[in-house]
Amino acid sequence: MSSHREAPEITKDPVADSTDVYAFVSPDAPGTVTLIANYIPLQGPAGGPNFYSFGDEVLYEIHVDNNGDARPDITYQFRFKTVLGDPDTFLYNTGPITSLDSSSWNRKQFYTVSRVQDGQTRVLASGLSCPPCNIGPLSTPNYPTLAGQAVHSIPGGIKVFAGQRAEGFYVDLGAIFDLGDLRPFEQLHNQFGMHVFSGAAPGVNATAQLNVHSIAIQVPASQLTPSGHPVIGVWTSASRQTAQVWDASQGKKVYTGPFYQVSRLANPLFNEVLVPLGKKDLWNSLPPSDDKRFASGVTNPELAQLLPVLYPGVFPNLAKLTKSGKPRADLAAILLTGIPSGVVPGFQNYTGSVQADLMRLNTSIPASTGPNPLGILGGDLAGFPNGRRVFDDVVSVELRAIAGATVPLVDKTFTPDAAASQVTDGLTRSSVPAGFLDSFPYLGHPYSGFDTPS
């Protein structure tokens, strides 16, 4: 998964588990950039009576680095507050919810958004409404209207949204974590003497018809790049306070003390695949500026060593490369520093020599809504790994990069294996049943509990 349940400790704290980060030039709003951070993974739509919501005690943040030091120059903070209408009913709603101020909706959630810059915190807006979860046709009879009411325009030419969305990240988890048994190429897999091959098949999207909670903000690009340098680095984090005390008089936990980071994310699959199991919790607690200590997982990724074993004879050139021990400068550029000018004609998203997991976006490259099958290797430079759009096939891009397809960018003497540019889990944007929106907040409307089979 992109970053769902990626480390042992965060699996116990789903409301603080950051799952995906998106950063892209807004296709329908020229001159703006959209930043999205998703949380609360793998939500079953029929998750009542206590439907999903953001954590009131969690500090959610989207950070922007615009000078290349992998430290936040601008941070957008989001704090949530849940308001219970009638504590004497078990129901989330007592009738149809037809508006965000409907008296039938019993458990509303509101939030404040602030901007932190140069050590100063400025509240941009407060009392903003989240939409309810999508329960079903009787409880939420016109969900697109409710969701539209939760898109707020706030001062500074900014739009914000916080609430439930359809999961837009598509991945064949069942195949990938079954020893990388990719269904389209199962006939080439090392079956370990078990002979279970049943024929090549399309991928199965394990996240289809699941929901997430999104925090989305659309900002004029000029507010993110005040120096005029167009490249920014983006990541998200979630933090909790150090002390938790049960207050018997209130019948709930009370949180005090300074905040400490429990989750962070930028590039998809970074902690999931490149950070070893014994260091995953540590990685979640540190800032991107400390990522040099994890760089060997990028320049010598374990998965690149495993592919020739899992697919015997398919990746001979990759096998020689990994056995040589030569660090993967291509992966370091893609994931840790950005692509310098001159490597890919007409493109760069280089942030400098500081090695850090940042979602790097060149805001001067126009938006595109076309497919992006291989990121920097072909055609469309508006998508991953130049930022990330909601529909980008990040699994295929990263699998192909690790398989060696991007090595010639930095080493013209290397010839990738023919399979390197074909590796995929067999899924595309059409594998997402809800599809995507053409306008903010871009991720599709969430699946309803009544209409989605369990």
pLDDT at res. 368: 75
pLDDT at 247 (0 to 100): 80
pLDDT at 251: 80
- Low-confidence spans in the chain with pLDDT less than 70: 1-3, 193, 195-197, 369-379, 454
Residue 138's pLDDT is: 96
Measured distance CA(288)–CA(430) in Å, rounded = 33
Cα 247 to Cα 15, 188, 252, 255: the distances in Å are 21, 59, 6, 10
pLDDT of residue 119: 93
Give me the sign of the Cα torsion angle 153, 158, 164, 167: positive
pTM for the whole structure? 0.95
pLDDT of residue 194: 73
Cβ within 8 Å of residue 106, ≥6 positions away: 84, 85, 86, 89, 91, 92, 93, 94
pLDDT, residue 11, reads: 87
- The pLDDT of residue 380 is 74
